[in-house]
Copies of this chain bind each other. A is one copy, B any other.
Amino acid sequence: MEDRHKQIKSAQLRSDILKQLYFKKTLLYSELSLIYNKSIPVINKIINQLIKDGLVAEVGYAASSGGRRPQMYSVKTNAMYIMAIAMDQFCTRMMIVDMQNNPVTNTQLVELPLNDNANALPQLISCINSCIAKSGINKTQILGIGIGMPGFVSVSDGINYSYLDAGDQKLTHLIHKAIGVPVYIDNDSSLIALAEQKFGAAKLKDQAMVINLGWGIGLGMIVNGEIFRGSNGFAGEFSHIPLSEDGALCLCGKQGCLEAEASMLVVTKKAIEGIKQGKLSSLQSFINEPLERIATAIFEAIAIGDQYVIELLSDAGYKIGKALAILIHIMNPQTIVLSGRGTKAGKIMLAPIQQALNKYCIPRLAGNTELLISTLGFDAELLGAAALVMEYLDDDILNAHFKQKQQPMDKTSV
């Protein structure tokens, strides 16, 4: 039971206001005053302190309806930097962003298979190091490294139970020690959900389910305005719910999992098989290429309206829709967002998903849930990884970087 009633003291509002500015881009005194239920002078004091520390800047004036125009405040772009990393089963992307989420490096793409790869962790570490080196940014200027990864990730423990085994250490600690910058990890789908909630299609939504259409089918849950992780951090294991009694065999060992029936990986494999058996498709020339290429080819096929690919995706969509019907019955979300690298495929799936919802959902529930397409697409996970670092920001971390200048004593003697 959540019994501990914490009281936010304004002295501990510094980091919170900074977060607020990061997520909302720009804010006024009056808005901050409303958000925190504090009087303007209290906000004024903190903002002035943040400006003195070089963290926040005035960025012009907002409109006024007659009267002095209010100052807008933002985090200073180059006050600090964040490293964002998005991993999937085969590939890892990373970049460094400033305090307004502008990339300050290119997105580095590394082939880094996670499965049965004892070398994955050292490889990841060396990539991070070289990316930072190339950027020319001092490590002390980096607030943290946020990493999204597939698998059973416990955020609170800093451990991934599926990949990147760190022995008896915490994965976060190990990388932190190796790089010298704090590390935060999370499940890829949760980060996509975080990104959609903060910057994307689920913005300002309190109850949203974000489907990560990647090689698998992930689920990131926004519950009561926050990422929901369940009691062990494993909530949202959507892809392995038992859907059909005698379905395809899944990698997890069970039968009839959603993932085994409708994931991008399965669609891709079906496409290859179908083409080999004579189906006509624009994919034909790609069937011997690596998966990563085929995925791109599928998106291109969608763009030109390839009938066979659309047929396969529709079929997958209908199955996802049936699973979403279950999800809606349990969670009664306001919004479902189709996101992740497969966002483009999601557009094709919208209709069959809606069809399945109509069939399998009680109308009162289906009617109350909107089905949206990500506005962030493939970038969602990276944005989420950056947001993760900011989510964890607190006054201790902030003070470690920006010591509040000691006020000169008024009393002449101690």
A16 partner residues in chain B, CB cutoff 8 A: 5
Question: Which residues from 2 to 29 on chain A have a C-beta closer than 8 Å to any C-beta of chain B?
Answer: 2-8, 16, 20
Chain A: interface secondary structure? loop
The answer on a CB contact under 8 Å between B35 and A242 is: no
The answer on a CB contact under 8 Å between B234 and A207 is: no
A327 at the interface (CB under 8 A from B): yes
Copies assembled:
2
The answer on a CB contact under 8 Å between A2 and B226 is: yes
Partner of A325, one of B8, B242, B334, B364: B242
A225-B1, A360-B254 given; A332·B232 CB < 8 A: yes
Question: Which residues from 240 to 257 on chain A have a C-beta closer than 8 Å to any C-beta of chain B?
Answer: 240-242, 244-245, 252, 254
A121 at the interface (CB under 8 A from B): no
The answer on a CB contact under 8 Å between A37 and B241 is: no
A206 at the interface (CB under 8 A from B): yes
A224 at the interface (CB under 8 A from B): yes
Partner of A8, one of B7, B232, B327, B364: B7
Interface residues on A, range: 35 or more
A368 at the interface (CB under 8 A from B): yes
A230 at the interface (CB under 8 A from B): yes
| Bound Cα distance from A228 to B226, whole angstroms | 13
Partner of A331, one of B2, B4, B235, B332: B235
The answer on a CB contact under 8 Å between B242 and A368 is: no
A8 partner residues in chain B, CB cutoff 8 A: 5, 7
Q: How far is the CB of A180 from chain B (nearest CB, A)?
A: 32
A103 at the interface (CB under 8 A from B): no
A299 at the interface (CB under 8 A from B): no
| Bound Cα distance from A77 to B161, whole angstroms | 51
A333 at the interface (CB under 8 A from B): yes
Residues of chain A having any CB pair with chain B under 8 Å: 1-8, 16, 20, 35-37, 152, 161, 197, 203-207, 219, 221, 223-226, 228-238, 240-242, 244-245, 252, 254, 322, 325-327, 329-334, 360, 362, 364-365, 368
List the 10 shortest-distance A-B pairs measured between CB atoms, nearest first: A230-B332, A2-B225, A231-B334, A207-B231, A235-B332, A237-B329, A234-B332, A242-B360, A241-B326, A241-B329
Q: Given A2-B225, A234-B368, 13 more contacts at CB 8 Å?
A: A1-B203, A2-B226, A223-B223, A224-B224, A231-B333, A234-B365, A235-B330, A236-B332, A241-B325, A254-B360, A254-B362, A330-B330, A330-B331
